[in-house]
Chains A and B, each alone.
Chain A
Amino acid sequence: MANRSLVAIEEYSKEKILYMLEMAKEFEKCPNRKILDSKIVATLFFEPSTRTRLSFETAANRLGAKVIGFTDPKVTSSTKGESLKDTIMMVSNYADVIVMRHYLEGAARYASEIAPVPIVNAGDGANQHPSQTMLDLYSIYKTQGTLENLNIYMVGDLKYGRTVHSLLMAMRHFNPTFHFVAPDELKMPDEYKLYCRKNGIRYEEHRDFNEDVIADADIIYMTRVQRERFTDLMEYEKVKNVYILHEQMLHKTKETMKILHPLPRVNEIAYDVDNSPKAYYFQQAKNGLYARQAIICDVLGITLDEVRNNK
């Protein structure tokens, strides 16, 4: 069997993305399907991430699978010097699929090359986190009815924010127009702007963040502006309150516009936004469940048709 692991979102073609979104849609219609009755899903969290782990484990449980694994690296032998390879080979003896999060970059890629079972990357350091991108895509698709020709505003930390980089690359198939709204210190890196130009993706950069800048948005994707990212703390003090979305900034925006955020938020979305019908970040997190059900099924070789025929 070909290795069906999901390590990086770039492995998905346009067709594959759309196919995965269809599968997620099936799971949203009916999340409880005992498709994985006899399967065991391992969740190996070498670095804690409660949100991601709960989402994957709920996905596995709703599919009828049993879940094994660990979350605290202190209780496993990885701190006793056991190599990643040895841990992966050991767990492969027990589980049908391994969902792993690791603090080292490239860990999931390496695991996918040595493991006899498929690997799902649930985040490897600052590198890849494809299930986050799939839930972002699903949220956009669901709220806009399409992924094509959208105005997507990315706001906040565009330099270190891996979710915005992955989303940017995944959207290349769908003719988007990006607006990058960030302070100078956290601007979108040149390599991604170059990527946009190479792929014929339009983008504009903004330093200001106000109701006029965002008036045309279909999606506003907010990210955290963290103090520790700044080399110049004066600069942080200057911008820390600039990239905050308030309810009164939404009046000029489209009816159908939705606000996304990978969560957890700190203060970048004011609480008065929560009651707006344009706030979508809590539903977005819920969409992660359906996206992850689809990912687990796909790496195990279960097709969309099989999902549809199993109610």
Chain B
Amino acid sequence: MQENKKELQVAAIENGTVIDHIPADKLFSVVSILKLAEMPNNITIGFNLDSKKIGKKGIIKIAGKYFEEEELDKISLVAPHAHINIIKDYKIIEKKSINMPHELVGIVKCNNPKCITNNEPMKTRFTLIDEEQGILKCHYCEKEQNKEDVVIL
């Protein structure tokens, strides 16, 4: 903690949630998945910060906001190794890891142009059928696709 405070690259928050160790190129995906742009909260974003673990990282600090676990699990697609720290009175009171949810509703777009979800105003729905290899299956057209290849809505 001591050392951390010394070289803090982004200002600390008093209460809220810190999402750390986001791969830098996925930072803005996380912002959009969590719909941070629509939030009234005070949000600090650090981009292209140095990280010993992953090279360049992103960090997001959201003041006064605690997420539901399933909301956070949505970012597992882009930042499965992100760290979630719950902050109270400038202290980390809880660390959470991210789990890949079994079902993804309205989060990613189906790769199949002939899928009904790409042609009808409706929510997409995917099931995680292989967690290790990150294979998602569209509930509608039944096409299997790798999580690396899908576009976040």
Interface residues on B, range: 10 to 19
Contact for A105 among B114, B121, B122, B144, CB less than 8 A? B114
A33 to B94, CA, bound (A): 68
Contacts of B121 in A (CB 8 A): 83, 85
7 chain-A/chain-B pairs, Cβ below 8 angstroms: A104-B119, A105-B142, A106-B142, A110-B120, A110-B140, A128-B142, A191-B144
Contact for A84 among B114, B120, B138, CB less than 8 A? B120
Contacts of B120 in A (CB 8 A): 83-85, 104, 110
A172 within 8 A of B: no
Contacts of A83 in B (CB 8 A): 120-121
* Contact B139 A109, beta carbon cutoff 8 Å: yes
* Contact A106 B144, beta carbon cutoff 8 Å: no
B143 within 8 A of A: yes
B116 within 8 A of A: yes
* Contact A84 B144, beta carbon cutoff 8 Å: no
Q: Which residue of B lies closest to A10 (CB)?
A: B142
* Contact B140 A109, beta carbon cutoff 8 Å: yes
Contact for B114 among A8, A103, A109, CB less than 8 A? A103
Residue among B116, B139, B142 with max Cβ neighbours from chain A (10 Å): B116
Q: How many residues of A contact B (CB 8 A)?
A: 18
Q: Which residue of A lies closest to B119 (CB)?
A: A104
* Contact A127 B122, beta carbon cutoff 8 Å: no
Contact of A105 with B139 at beta-carbon distance under 8 Å, contacts A83-B121, A85-B120 already known: no
Nearest-CB distance from A125 to chain B (Å)? 5
Q: Which residues of B contact A (CB under 8 A)?
A: 112, 114-117, 119-122, 138-144
Contacts of B144 in A (CB 8 A): 191
Contacts of B141 in A (CB 8 A): 104-106, 124-125, 127
Nearest-CB distance from A309 to chain B (Å)? 38
* Contact B115 A104, beta carbon cutoff 8 Å: yes
Q: Which residue of A lies closest to B140 (CB)?
A: A106
Contacts of A84 in B (CB 8 A): 116, 120
A263 within 8 A of B: no
Contacts of A105 in B (CB 8 A): 112, 114-116, 140-143
Nearest-CB distance from A216 to chain B (Å)? 33
Contacts of A85 in B (CB 8 A): 120-122
A68 within 8 A of B: no
Contact for A104 among B116, B138, B139, CB less than 8 A? B116
Contact of A126 with B114 at beta-carbon distance under 8 Å, contacts A83-B121, A85-B122 already known: yes
Contacts of A191 in B (CB 8 A): 144
Nearest-CB distance from B33 to chain A (Å)? 23
Q: Which residue of B lies closest to A126 (CB)?
A: B114
Contacts of B114 in A (CB 8 A): 103-105, 125-126
A285 within 8 A of B: no
Contacts of A103 in B (CB 8 A): 114
A191 to B120, CA, bound (A): 28
Contacts of B112 in A (CB 8 A): 105
A225 within 8 A of B: no
